[in-house]
Structure formats: structure tokens, C-alpha cells
Structure 1
């Protein structure tokens, strides 16, 4: 009898131990894992922000394996970790299927990270999957607030795409790589963000209504023709061990701080392949602003003369400025890109003689002549362009007039060797690389059979680009994946093309309003070429200030010609007060609130004991912009002394008095703290 009672007691205690949830508490964060049903919850300071979440993978044969459907024994292990994020503990919950596939859910808690990092690992024999989802929850969360908004982040900056800030809804748009839901009133927010783009494209789904979110998902294996540009499903990853990216999950008092922390963590966990830029913040000029296809030796050197004679003090902290030749520089190479580079070398020497840094442009992963057929010989090899085209389920990938080239094909790489090699040999110090998203497209089969996904192919092509340039040029990425490019470029254009109008200024600043945090991913982010031709002085102020707010100043007019706008803008461009603001290369921070695809109307940046506030009116009618002092770190009941830096007018700056505009334009306030 005693033996029976002991056996029953042992079985009961074992069951109770199995039934008890596994729990981790650290830095105010709590992870609770239910070992019976394979779900987990996360909370911060006793406020739940993820509940009853599971993880799953979809096998290539169509089978879906989800942790909440598996009945096997779950084991828990922990081990200390130390990496670029510091010290912490990794907790792993593993369960094995009847087919012998093991799912491992990794939870990383760091001493200095205000959030949890998650990862799904799958082990087995010859696994094949194009979808791993470490976060899937349909639980309702109503603890964040009553005025919830969801931020949709674009995958890249092509096709004049924008960030979108909309009321949370059941049909909310999926966000690429990182997603945020936040309460408008309190500023509290939940962030879920991928920390690696070397294999997978990620989509973050957040759905619900203004008072609660009811669905969360972090999907590795995301494609959408309107977001990632792919016309087919994500590539299938194969092997005995496959992993999702790591995802940061954080619940933040200020959703903007959450995005800034995300960018800093991302840069530490996915360090740059290219060496960090050691020079001062880039300033200069790019020919696509106005000259475009009319580029020639005369207007290029005429622009260099303008820099030397008319704006000699428009230089960065190193006393430098870049003169960058965009597309159609081959107007100066008789015989095309395989032709005679003598005149380009003359241009480089001319810039050198004036103390300027020559720059150039190329789109290494596109074929612009595909309409002429596949049999044209590609530069640098015996391959034809048709052999280089990236193959998709719909044939080929065409966008913006260019056809994608397979970044893993030896012909593509050889073409980069010869053309980039010539540009390096010319002595260029900067290169603007464009249409890079073409290199990230999913394919039915890359030339290199070890490469299974578009992001793996992208890494191959971009690493080769960095290697060929040998560290001799500043690398500026124009159209490109927002996050994956950070490892391979010093500087990235924050939005699609923009020129001079107030609407284009607002378009650019939409990407600063919601993508400013990329200032912590890249050495520099840029507002594209700033053009002033044929616009009013006030609109020109706004366009210039959009560059200052983003972090760099690249001009775009045809400066080989004299025009009426130049004297006033030359004064601003050489103003040491304005140049001082961009010296650290960092973006202003957005403040205030707008919806949809609009841009914030004011931004701020603190340098030492000085606060700079940039204010914009995007409307042609008069406007009064109210400033929320708390958001920009000022006391609402205090009167501050300010100077408007464009016009050098002194004024009192108070929360009660809005910034008045008579027309579209911008003002830059310097405030003593």
C-alpha cells in the first residue's frame, strides 16, 4: 500500500512540475511559458503585452508544425551568453515531433537591453521551409491605451513609397522588418523588429482596433509585390538546422525611443561589413537634380568652379565637399562603359586641383537595355545579359525600367569588377549606388546553388561591391532595402527621389518622421539632392532645412549657370551656424503627431546646451504651428530666448505662442537652454 501511495505521489508531483509554467523575471520583464500548451506570454512591470503566443514553421510539403499543437515533453535549458550586446542568459524551450523534428524557442535576456530577443530554431534531417514564425498570437491586449496607431515601415525606398501611420485596424498593412503599435495619448508602444536580414525577409503583422490589438505575427519568409517587390513566394531555406532571424520585442514608454534602441541593437548584432566612414559629414552636389541626362565635362567642371568661387565655405568639418556625377557620366566615355575613361580622369584631376572630392554613380544589379534582347555581351566577360537576368516564376523582374541581374552570377560579378575597377582607377572618392533592391528579389534559382533566398543573394552582391571598392570611396545607397543595406553602405537616401517643391520636401520628411532612427544604423542618412531652381525663397528654405534635419546637405541645381536664387542660398549654405548642426551627421528627432502618409511639422536636435527646432509649413496658406514643449524636452511654463537662424531674428519662444507662417516654408530656431 505504501508503495502504491508513493508511486501515485511521485506521479502527481511530476505532473504538477510539468504543468507548472516556466517563468523568467529580469529588468522588470517577465516571460511566462506554459509547458502544457506550448504558448508564452511577455509582460513589463506587470503589464502584459504579448499573451498566449506560439511559434510555427511551414514545411515545403505544406505541413505546418506549431508549438501549441505539439504534445511532447518540453525541456528547458539555460546558459550564460556574452556578445556585442553584453552579458545575459539564453533560455531555450525545446520539443520534438513524432517525425523527429525539434523546435527550439530561444529567449535572450541581456543585462542592459530593455526588451527580449526571440528566435526560432528547427533541427531535423533535410528540412525545407520558407516560413518560420517565432511570434503568433490572437490574444486580445487592451492594456496599452484607447487610441492605438500602427506604423507600417516600407521594405525599401522605391516607387515613391511612404511610411504609413494609421489607426490600428483589422486590415492594417503589414510592416517590413520592424513594426510598431502605440498609444497616441501616452506614447507607449510595442515594437517587434528583425535583427538580421542576411537570409530572410520579415513581415510584422499587427491587427486590432483603437482600443486593443488582437493579432501579432513576426514572419520570416515574407513577400508582397507592393512591399518587397517580389512576384513570387520567399525562397526555401534547406538544411539540417534552420533558424529565423532574431527579433527584438520591447514595450517602451516612448515608442520613438523604442525605435532608436532597436536601430542601435541592430547595428551591434549585425555589424557593418564596410568599414565605418572616418571622415566628416558629407556635403556636396549630385548631377541628377537638374542636369540629369545632359551631363557633360563642361557643366560638371562648371559646377566644381561654382563650389570653388561662389561657395568656398560650404564645406564639411574636414574642409571637403563632394562633386558627384550621377547617371549619364558615360557621356564622357566614348565607347560607353567599356570605352575611353580619359575625360573622366580629367574631371577627377580637375576636382582634385580645386580641393574637391569627385564622385560617381552606378546601378550594378540592373540591365537597362533588356528591351534590346538577351544576346548582348555583358562587360567584363563572355556572358550575355540574358544569362545574367534573375529568373522568377513570372520570367524576370522588371521595375523602374531596369531588369534585375543575378548578384551571384559570375557575369554580374565580373561586370562589377571591370566597371567599378575602372572607377576606382579614375580616382573617384564617392559612389552613389542605385536600384539595389533589384538584387534582393526572390528567384526560382540563383546561379550559385548554395544561395536560396533573395537576401542571401543581396549579401553576395553587396559584399563583392564593397570588396572591389577597396575602402577607397564613400558608399551612398540610393534606392535600397532599408535595413539590409546598413552593413554595406556609409550613407543612405532616406526616401525616393525628391527635387524642389514643398510637396517633395514633405514627401522626404515623411521618411524622416518615421525612419529618422536609421541615423543609428548608418553613418549618415540623406534627403536627396536639394534643388532651388524656380522656387520661392521660403520653399527653398524648407528644402534646404529638410537636408539639415535629415543630417547631410547634397545640392542638385545646375551650378554651371548663374541664377537669381543663388546669392541668398549661398549665404545659408556657408552659414557656420547651419553647418555646425550637421557636423555630427545625425538626424533631428520628430515630434508632434500626424496621420497617414503625412510628415511631422516640427523636429528637434540638442547639441550641448543648445536646442535646435526645425518647423515646416507644407501648405500654401498661412499657418500657425503649435509646439508641444514636453515632446521636445522644454518646460511648458518657461520662456526661452531663441534666434531664427535663416533671418537672424531674436524672439521669445513660449508654449503659448505658435510659430506663424504666411506661406509655405520653414524656420530654424536656435534655443539657449
Structure 2
């Protein structure tokens, strides 16, 4: 037993080693380097004139007992930003950026990591670029733990300071990161802890074979802290989390990654992406200029150069306990002065919360943060898709994946809305059965979905006669279609305190979610406690009625109401909004029992994925070009959610009486997002019926969604702020598809570099077909296209 435990917990142990400090003036000076007085420097001296035309340098002899990797801290003075070159043992130098310290006698510090030999070594400091480096006060060496991952990537953990650096290849992107936990007291990995040790263990999980690396920190009067890193064979990313152990370790905020020093290779168009928590209230993603970025977004961010596409993605892959925030503060064109990823995020405008985050692991003796994903790739879009896939692995689906065809169909909220009747609903079925006969998915069917006001077909309301609904379902089946229904399981629209909750004997007021003693209203509806037996009873009752009617699809709306932080929950083991959300959604899923295609509307962007097959990417959108643009802002920056949902959706495609050009754009928004759910009132005849018969029966367009399994296109560019990208692309078999949407009020000419969309720029493509018009052409090197105002073109390029 002891041997097994030892193997599991302690394959390698490194204890804290005492740091070694060397004054710069103790080294050998050459070139123009000289010693200057400095009252604030240790030893009252510093070495200056490093670099310059005389190539001033200082070579400092150091000695270490053990060969390995060391963290080098450089203490310097400079009035302006400068670079110092660090060369160990006449080997390969590393250029270290040194921010202005505040003056030539004001000391600041920076760190890097280097390999040293056992015994004597020489560390040379200079500036090989012809410019001057900063003045150097001293250097400090501390043996660091080196955690290698992927192809030449490393985490260097400084056991002396409780901080870590992260390098991808030869690029050190993150410096001096640390962990912070907020319980009854604040705990920081770099403060107070007097003992730090490293251990590792082999692991095998959904990500493959890997290693769990644990830094354990202890200090007098402090709860034990553990910083954990997970690395996997063949994976160029890693995960990190922090734990607080001991009595009283419950927390309301935990950050395994906080740093004031993030530097990316300078690029032509540096961006930081602000990601929303949900898709409510017409919220938008925003790819801000990195220099001006100053936000706290939800769950994940991307920091990237849109020109080269190099990008760093950092975000949570766990969403069942914590709401995770990501704070980003730009500091110049390619660096950040703050990157903080933390569990415990709440905001009135982002997470819709009216109070602080609940406490995690109340009464327990070990509290864990969310697990954070960190990846840097040559294409930020690929890194985001990797993040999406990692999220799906970290939190496996609670419901089965959808194995049938990409959903095509109709939803009543697009145009019919409150005017819904059985006659209208069956007339819509007739339109698709008789007048739009080739608008079908790969299963040769459509989903005909009754949205809000479906209870117009239930005599006596939710507790009344559902026979008209059963008639509707059977009518859909008779035409080869599948019937869908709509419901918001966690809201009370009536707000009737004395009203009885359907299917139970409880009054509604008993199950309202409360903040500071008052019920919570959001979007005009009152939130209900997802853990309360009244809420559960109503869910079981109505889903039971829907199943009895024979519905095969359900659209679940206003799900974010279940994720709200509350004063308390009926289930006293639940203390956070995301814990309550998990309880509520698991109960809904259990009642559905896999009988329906499950579609989420307003809901948390990431946490909902475990419980549904399909999710609307944005909020309500209807018909004109501005609403198409709103939807495609979310597709531009959230397309990667295709890797955690079976499908993402552009909401009902309403044509109405808009110009054909705008209708083509609206149709395109569905194609590039994934599914095709239309929304006009097809129980009547108008311009929309003719448009539908044309656009919804264009087989070249439908085949994109059929053959591509409804997967969203990638954006070509990611530098559009809170607006949509104009170019989207995907590969299906031997076809490269390119969608171009002109959101402007005037015609626009595009010259599209084929390499930018993933094609061979030296090849000639002889089969380039525009799918709305059927016109064919050739392309080589670039594609030159003029798109009319508020219009779109979709090209299929055969390769």
C-alpha cells in the first residue's frame, strides 16, 4: 500500500532551494560597460552602458550544485523600455524586454529561465542589437521545476517565489504568474508560504496519457495550497488549477493564473476577445485592439495577431461549479499588464447576477478552482477549436450526442408569434408538404416547432386539454415531419404569488429565486429555484404531457435564470449558481430521457452544452441585414462552439418582404452557423413564400448543411470589434466553400487571397461555382468578387 501511494503521489520530489544572489559589479566588465553609483541598489552600485557602439557587457560567474533549469531574476534600472540579452556559457542568447523602472536609480525586476551546468557557469548580460540595455543592479538564481509539454513548450515554476513562467517554443509568453484563493482570508502562492515542493504522477483520462504536476505549499498559520498542472503526450496545451486544503478551505474566488506580464510576438493587428457569458439581451462578442483592451469577460479569451494569426487562448473547461471570469488589460501593442483567470465571476451586465458568487465546498476540507486551459498556436482559430474540443472532453455530455441529420425546419416565433392556432400550424405543414417539397434534411424530414403561445392550442392552459397539440403532432407525422414544442422550465411569467405550480400543491412564491430577500426578475420573467420540488414537479408534469403528445423536439428557453446566484437554494448542498444550473438541467434531461432533439435558446454559452444537442448562437434575430449582422457577430467569434454542441443555430430565418439580397444574406447566416430553421408565416401567401420556394430548395446550398453535418464555418478574419466578419469558409470533402456577406449600403469589391482561406495560392481552380446564381468561373492566386449592397455570395471551389 505504501509503495502504491508513493508511486502515485511522489514520482519526483524537489524541495525549495535557497536562492543565490550576485551583484552585477562582481562580474567582469568589457567594452564600454562601467560601474555607476546607485543609492537604491544593493551594494549602492550598478553596471551601466551595456550594449551600445562599444558593445559593453558584464560577465558574471555563478556556481550551482546541480545541473538543470534555473529561474534568473534580473534587477535593473531604466528610464525607458529597453532589452537585455542573457547568454549562459557563451551559448544562445535570450532577449528580455525590460519595462521602464521609473528612473536610472529606481530598481525593478524581470525574470527568465535558463539551463546551467553543475559547477561553474558564466552569465553574460549585454545588448546585441546596437542599442543600450538597462543598467543592472544584481541577479538572483533559484532552481526551478521545469515541466515540459508538447513540442518544445515549457512551464518553469520558481519554488522560491511561488510564481511560474510559460514558454511556447522559444517564446516566453507568460511571466511571473501566480495563484490566489479567497476564503475567510486571502491566500497567494507568492506570499507567506515558506515551503514549496514538487511531485508528479502519471495519469490517463479523456485527454490521453499524461502527467499531473503538483506544487505543494505550506506556511505557518496558512491553509495548504497546491498549484496543479496537467500535461499530456502529444498535446501542445496544458491545464492548471489551484486547491486550498484544510478546515475552512471553502472559497468564493480562486485564480490559478494571475499575472501582470504577458507578452506576445509583436504583430500587425493584435486583438483581445471579450466573450459574453450567455446569448441574452442582444449581447455581442468584441475583438478589441489589444492596446485598448480593458475588460472582464466570461470563461475564455483569445489574445492574437489577426495578421499572422498567432494566438494565445486561455479559459475554463469546467462549468458545473464556478462561473469563470477572464480579466484582460492591454499594455501597449503586444503585451498585457493584467491577465487573471478566476472562478467566482459575477456581474449584473455579463452574468446577470445581483449578488456575489456563492461559496464552493462549504463545510469541506479541500476546495478546487475551475480547470484552466492554456494554448498557443500558429492560428488562433485552430486554438479556439482545440479549446472547444477540450471543453467537451473535460465535461462529457449528460445527454447523448445527436446522430441524425442536421436539423432543418420551421419555428412559429419568427412571424406567427401570439397568433398561433391549430389551423395556422397545420397550414404551415401543408406549405412544406405541398409547395416546398425539396426543403428536407438528410433524413428527408423537417422539424415543425411551436414556440411560445403553443398553449393557444391547449384548452384550459397547462393543466387543460392537450388534444389539439396531439392532433398537430399526428398531422406532422402524417406528412413525414417531426413536431417540436417550446418551454422555459425555470421561469414564472405570471408572477402570481398565490398561484399553484402546475403538477404540484406548492404556491409559486415558495420556489422563486431570491437575492437579498427579494424575488429576481430577468427578461420580464421571475426566476425559479432549479432545486425546489415545485420547480421539479412542474418540469416532470409538463414534459410528461409533451411526451404523451408525441413531440420529438423541444426548444428550452431562458435557461440562464437557473444559473443565477441566490441567497440560498432549497437543496442545501447547493451554494453556487452553476451548481443549481447543473441540478436543474440534469433533472430536465432525466425527464426528457432522450426522447427529443433538445434545443437551447437563451442560455449560458458553455455550461449548457452537456444537456442539449443544439443551441442558438445569439439572441432573437428576424429578417433585415442588421439582424443578420448581429447574428454573425456571434458566429464570427463563437463558431468554435460547434465542437461542444452537436449544432449551433442562427435562429429562425425570416424572409418577410425584405429585398431578395437581404434574404440571401439571412439564408447564408443559417448556412454558415449550422442549421436551417425558417420562420415566416407560411399559412398565408406573400413575398416570403416565393422566396422560400427559391432559397429553401436550392440543393447546392442545402447540401452544405447536409454534407457538412451542420458544422459552422470558420471566420476568415477576427479583427472586426463587435461587428461581424464578412468572410467565412469551410472544407467539405473536395470542396472549399467561401461565403462573402456585404453588410454595407453600397456595393463592395473583394480581392481574396486564396492562401488566406486555406487554398494553394499557386494552383488554378477551374471549377468555382457561385451557388445563388449558378455562375461558374476560375481562380488562381486570388478571387476577385463584387458583392452588391446588403447581399451575399457563396462560392464552392473544387480542389
Superposition TM-score tier, normalisation by shorter sequence: over 0.9
Give the alignment partner of residue 81 of structure 1, picking from 197, 203, 207: 203
Is 1:653 matched with 2:786?
no
Distance in 1 separating the partners of 2:142 and 2:713 = 51
Q: C-alpha deviations, 1:350-379, integer Å up to 9, x for none?
A: 111111100000001011111xx4111111
Q: Which residue of 1 aligns with 2:570?
A: 447
For the Cα contact (< 8 Å) 1:603–1:615, is it kept in 2? Answer: yes
In the alignment, structure 2 segments of 5+ residues that lack a partner are 1-16, 21-63, 67-140
For the Cα contact (< 8 Å) 1:150–1:172, is it kept in 2? Answer: no
How far did residue 12 of structure 1 move? Answer: 10
C-alpha root-mean-square deviation of aligned residues, in Å? Answer: 1.8
SS state at 1:627 partner: strand
- Which structure's relative contact order is higher, taking Cα pairs within 8 Å and 6+ residues apart? 1
How far did residue 628 of structure 1 move? Answer: 3.3
Is 1:38 matched with 2:198?
no
Is 1:344 matched with 2:466?
no
Q: Which residue of 2 aligns with 1:132?
A: 254
How far did residue 96 of structure 1 move? Answer: 1.8
Is 1:204 matched with 2:329?
no
How far did residue 101 of structure 1 move? Answer: 1.3
Shifted more, 539-548 versus 143-152: the winner is 143-152
Q: Which residue of 1 aligns with 2:50?
A: none
How far did residue 140 of structure 1 move? Answer: 4.9
Give the alignment partner of residue 273 of structure 2, picking from 136, 151, 158: 151
For the Cα contact (< 8 Å) 1:48–1:143, is it kept in 2? Answer: no
Q: C-alpha deviations, 1:156-209, integer Å up to 9, x for none?
A: 000000100111246522121011111232211111110110000001112123
For the Cα contact (< 8 Å) 2:18–2:160, is it kept in 1? Answer: no
How far did residue 49 of structure 1 move? Answer: 1.1
Distance in 1 separating the partners of 2:601 and 2:539 = 17
SS state at 2:249 partner: strand
Pairing 1:228-247 to 2, within 5 Å after superposition: 228-237=351-360, 238=362, 239-247=364-372
Give the alignment partner of residue 24 of structure 1, picking from 147, 166, 171: 147
For the Cα contact (< 8 Å) 1:199–1:453, is it kept in 2? Answer: yes
Distance in 1 separating the partners of 2:416 and 2:186 = 55
SS state at 1:266 partner: helix
How far did residue 79 of structure 1 move? Answer: 0.4
Give the alignment partner of residue 701 of structure 2, picking from 552, 555, 578: 578
SS state at 2:263 partner: coil
Distance in 2 separating the partners of 1:398 and 1:12 = 56
Q: Which residue of 2 aligns with 1:403?
A: 526
Q: Which residue of 2 aligns with 1:365?
A: 490
Q: Which residue of 2 aligns with 1:6?
A: none
SS state at 1:206 partner: strand
Shifted more, 474-483 versus 648-657: the winner is 648-657
For the Cα contact (< 8 Å) 1:281–1:317, is it kept in 2? Answer: yes
For the Cα contact (< 8 Å) 1:86–1:112, is it kept in 2? Answer: no
Is 1:431 matched with 2:557?
no
Q: Which residue of 2 aligns with 1:669?
A: 795
Distance in 1 separating the partners of 2:329 and 2:213 = 29
How far did residue 269 of structure 1 move? Answer: 1.4
For the Cα contact (< 8 Å) 1:189–1:254, is it kept in 2? Answer: yes
Distance in 2 separating the partners of 1:333 and 1:132 = 48
Distance in 2 separating the partners of 1:540 and 1:241 = 55
For the Cα contact (< 8 Å) 2:250–2:366, is it kept in 1? Answer: no
Shifted more, 172-181 versus 567-576: the winner is 567-576
Is 1:644 matched with 2:770?
yes
SS state at 2:198 partner: strand
Distance in 2 separating the partners of 1:21 and 1:485 = 40
Q: Which residue of 2 aligns with 1:118?
A: 240
How far did residue 146 of structure 1 move? Answer: 5.8
For the Cα contact (< 8 Å) 1:146–1:211, is it kept in 2? Answer: no
Distance in 2 separating the partners of 1:657 and 1:104 = 54
How far did residue 569 of structure 1 move? Answer: 3.0
Distance in 2 separating the partners of 1:504 and 1:16 = 66
Is 1:462 matched with 2:585?
yes
1:137 to 1:11, Cα distance in 2 relative to 1, 3 A? closer
For the Cα contact (< 8 Å) 2:270–2:333, is it kept in 1? Answer: yes
Q: TM-score w.r.t. structure 2 length?
A: 0.81
Shifted more, 116-125 versus 621-630: the winner is 621-630
Distance in 1 separating the partners of 2:565 and 2:763 = 56
Distance in 2 separating the partners of 1:310 and 1:142 = 56
Pairing 1:431-580 to 2, within 5 Å after superposition: 431-580=554-703
How far did residue 214 of structure 1 move? Answer: 1.9
Q: Which residue of 2 aligns with 1:3?
A: none
Distance in 2 separating the partners of 1:146 and 1:535 = 39
1:204 to 1:576, Cα distance in 2 relative to 1, 3 A? same
Distance in 2 separating the partners of 1:568 and 1:454 = 44
For the Cα contact (< 8 Å) 1:149–1:210, is it kept in 2? Answer: no
Q: Which residue of 1 aligns with 2:428?
A: 303
Give the alignment partner of residue 294 of structure 1, picking from 414, 419, 423: 419
Decide which structure has the larger Cα Rg and report it. Answer: 2
Distance in 2 separating the partners of 1:11 and 1:358 = 70
How far did residue 318 of structure 1 move? Answer: 0.9
Distance in 1 separating the partners of 2:243 and 2:312 = 24
SS state at 1:307 partner: helix
Is 1:601 matched with 2:723?
no
Q: Which residue of 1 aligns with 2:758?
A: 633
For the Cα contact (< 8 Å) 1:145–1:212, is it kept in 2? Answer: no
SS state at 2:761 partner: coil
SS state at 2:548 partner: helix
SS state at 1:149 partner: strand
Q: Which residue of 1 aligns with 2:220?
A: 98
Q: Which residue of 2 aligns with 1:5?
A: none
Give the alignment partner of residue 620 of structure 1, picking from 745, 769, 776: 745
Q: C-alpha deviations, 1:84-135, integer Å up to 9, x for none?
A: 1100111100112323511111101101321111011111113231000000
Distance in 1 separating the partners of 2:517 and 2:764 = 63
1:171 to 1:599, Cα distance in 2 relative to 1, 3 A? closer
How far did residue 619 of structure 1 move? Answer: 1.3
Distance in 2 separating the partners of 1:469 and 1:602 = 39
SS state at 2:670 partner: helix
Q: TM-score w.r.t. structure 1 length?
A: 0.95
In the alignment, structure 1 segments of 5+ residues that lack a partner are 1-9
1:625 to 1:314, Cα distance in 2 relative to 1, 3 A? same
Q: C-alpha deviations, 1:242-277, integer Å up to 9, x for none?
A: 111111111111111110000011111111001111
1:264 to 1:657, Cα distance in 2 relative to 1, 3 A? closer
Is 1:253 matched with 2:378?
yes
Q: Which residue of 2 aligns with 1:4?
A: none
Distance in 2 separating the partners of 1:106 and 1:453 = 23
Is 1:353 matched with 2:475?
no
SS state at 1:415 partner: helix
Distance in 2 separating the partners of 1:451 and 1:137 = 31
How far did residue 380 of structure 1 move? Answer: 1.2
How far did residue 655 of structure 1 move? Answer: 4.8
Shifted more, 205-214 versus 131-140: the winner is 205-214
Distance in 2 separating the partners of 1:509 and 1:191 = 21
SS state at 1:51 partner: strand
For the Cα contact (< 8 Å) 1:498–1:504, is it kept in 2? Answer: yes
Greater strand proportion: 2
Q: C-alpha deviations, 1:399-445, integer Å up to 9, x for none?
A: 11111100000100001010111001110000000000000000010
Give the alignment partner of residue 265 of structure 1, picking from 378, 390, 396: 390
SS state at 1:275 partner: coil
Q: C-alpha deviations, 1:493-539, integer Å up to 9, x for none?
A: 00011111000001100011000001111001100000011101111
